[in-house]
Amino acid sequence: MAGNKKDKILRMSRVRPKNDEHYDSIAYSKFHNGSRRAFDVLMEAQGYWSNMDRFRRERKRNMNYTFGKQWSDIICVDGKQMTEEDYIKEQGNIPLVNNHIHRLVKQVLGVYRSQAKEPTCVARDREEQKLGETMSTVLQYNMQLNQNQEMNARTMEEFLISGFAVQRKWYGWQNDMLDVWTDYVNPNKFFIDSNMRDFRGWDASMVGEVHDITFNHLCGCFAESPEDVKNFRRIYSFAHNRGILRTYGEQFGYSRLENIDFLFTSDPTLCRVIEVWRKETKPRYRCHDYNNGDVYKIEIEDYDEMVEEVNNARIQRGLAQGMAEEEIPLIQATWFMDNYWYFYYLSPFGDILREGETPYEHKSHPYVFKAYPFIDGEIHSFVADVIDQQRYTNRLITMYDWIMKSSAKGVLMFPEGSEPDGMSMEDIADEWSRSNGVIFFKPKPGVPIPQQLANNCTNIGIVELLNLQLKFFEEISGVEKAREFDPFGHAGFDPSGIIRLTP
């Protein structure tokens, strides 16, 4: 009877401790949600994505003003929504643009490029200076491999326009090379914890990105067996067919004017993969080895092997060497809840393509981002600061053009009854519009001769207002043209001759 009890297999749900799964967020999700646990991650990520909708709209507006679409704001006229450009055209006028914002952005980029330097490592320990030189060579090689000078300049341009720049640093295979790669991340396809308030990003609990890739690229990144390829064909049943005519693709050199969806791509021939990095929790031991000073983490199930057995072995060796037991350096282990980064690669349908704990030595996600100024979580870009001045400048030049066209210049006052025989007023107007036209008239006593009425009403101070706005551009943006001073010791001289940035 005792042997039967010993051989009996009990259900895991009966022998598992009731509260253990609450400590490990991944184990809890697998145990309670099963195959649907990816949807919980997707819904949380979609919530943060939706919270960035206002930022994406502001970024689009800043892009429009930077690259010349400066009358694209939506207004409501008599209950009808239209762009400012359409409204001006309906009035019979031309929406003129004098783009000063792009000039400012290019000037700042010019200064940034002129000051670009190669990375250099300096060892704090002078005896390790050779290692610092080797590290400098490695970083410079990687900078050239990733074309970081151009990459960083474009990222800087993004930062000036939107106030938010993102890059992705990752290690893996690309172009048949296993190396460290740097990718530019479009903020339109990036999402992050909207509760973050630390401008360093240390308090973020979720970051991620949506990828639209070809089926071949998908298999190259995630397939580890023929069964994986079959599974991907099932998930992305439409995208794997290369015979489908790609009528939804982007036009080269132009951005599509449409909303970006979180779950589905606008091009059905591409595969939408959602990359999510989320903070998870798990009980672990933090160990301090007093023998060599190492501090590290271990799993709960490794405690006996990596702590108890090692300590027992050290005690035996120490006692054999004649050491007092309290003098033997042991490993001190402290139980704690580890808050670590965990990644998911998900399909829009709740399939987990790949998951795991962060593989990087820094134990974090691969994204590097900067938001400005991020005080109280708000983003205000360089371009947004001068949009009002740009709008007023465009309004002034459009108004000036309208006034010049509408002012009475060269109007012929022709008395009735003085027109010659055989000519009507329409014929006289047509002759008057000719550069060499000749008009005959019948003079009559007491009737004035035809005369031209000229009225100049364009000098109403618009030029002065334009000059004032151009001055405001420099003062508000902090970008001024370099002053040509003598280079021999005069303050304020800029040898580059380009611009001078003022804080």
DSSP letter for each residue of 418-432? -SPTT--HHHHHHHH
Dist. CA 503–CA 488, nearest whole Å: 24
CA 425 to chain centre: 64
Phi, psi of 202 (to 5 degrees): -75, -20
Dist. CA 432–CA 224, nearest whole Å: 84
Amino acid at 199: F
**Per-residue confidence (pLDDT) for residue 16, from 0 to 100:** 47
**Per-residue confidence (pLDDT) for residue 410, from 0 to 100:** 63
Dist. CA 491–CA 493, nearest whole Å: 6
Dist. CA 313–CA 336, nearest whole Å: 25
Phi, psi of 280 (to 5 degrees): -120, 165
Amino acid at 503: P
Amino acid at 312: N
What are the residue ranges spanned by the domains of the chain?
Answer: 40-273+342-376, 281-339, 386-501
**Per-residue confidence (pLDDT) for residue 457, from 0 to 100:** 60
**Per-residue confidence (pLDDT) for residue 248, from 0 to 100:** 53
Q: In this structure, which long-range contacts are made by residues 471-477, counting pairs with CB atoms below 8 Å and at least 24 apart in sequence?
A: 472/389, 473/100, 473/104, 473/386, 473/389, 473/390, 476/385, 476/386, 476/389, 477/104, 477/382, 477/385, 477/386
**Per-residue confidence (pLDDT) for residue 400, from 0 to 100:** 83
Q: In this structure, which long-range contacts are made by residues 496-499, counting pairs with CB atoms below 8 Å and at least 24 apart in sequence?
A: 496/111, 496/114, 498/107, 498/110, 498/111, 498/114, 499/107, 499/108, 499/110, 499/111
**Per-residue confidence (pLDDT) for residue 470, from 0 to 100:** 79
**Per-residue confidence (pLDDT) for residue 481, from 0 to 100:** 61
Gyration radius from the chain CA atoms: 36
Whether pTM > 0.95 for this model: the answer is no
**Per-residue confidence (pLDDT) for residue 498, from 0 to 100:** 46
State yes or no: cis peptide before 503, omega within 30 of 0.
no
Dist. CA 201–CA 74, nearest whole Å: 34
pLDDT in tens, the chain (503 residues): 444 445 555 454 444 444 555 677 788 777 666 678 899 999 999 999 999 999 999 999 999 999 999 999 999 998 999 999 999 999 888 899 999 999 999 999 999 998 878 888 988 888 888 899 999 999 999 999 999 999 999 999 999 999 999 999 999 999 899 999 999 999 999 999 999 999 999 999 999 999 999 999 999 999 999 999 999 999 998 766 655 545 555 666 666 656 688 988 888 888 999 999 999 999 999 999 999 999 999 999 999 999 999 999 999 999 999 999 889 999 999 999 999 999 999 999 999 999 999 999 999 999 999 999 999 999 999 999 999 999 999 998 888 888 777 665 567 777 777 777 778 888 877 777 776 777 777 777 777 777 776 666 656 677 788 888 878 777 777 776 644 333 334 444 444 444 445 44
- In a 10 Å sphere around its CB, with 0-12 CB exposed, 13-18 middle and 19+ buried, how is residue 187 labelled? buried
What is the DSSP track for 222-247?
H--SHHHHHHHHHHTTTTT-TTS---
DSSP-assigned letter for residue 163? S
Beta strands in 399-462 (DSSP E): 411-413, 451-453
Phi, psi of 476 (to 5 degrees): -75, -40
CA distances from 349 to 36, 37, 226, 253, 411 (A): 10, 12, 21, 32, 72
151: Cβ contacts below 8 Å, ≥ 6 apart: 167, 182, 184
| Cα 66-71-73 angle, rounded to 5 deg | 95
Three-state DSSP class for 444? coil
Q: For residue range 141-162, what is the model confidence (pLDDT) as tens digits? A: 999 999 999 999 999 999 999 9
CB 145 within 8 A of CB 137: no
DSSP-assigned letter for residue 305? I
Q: How many CB atoms lie within 10 A of CB 432?
A: 16
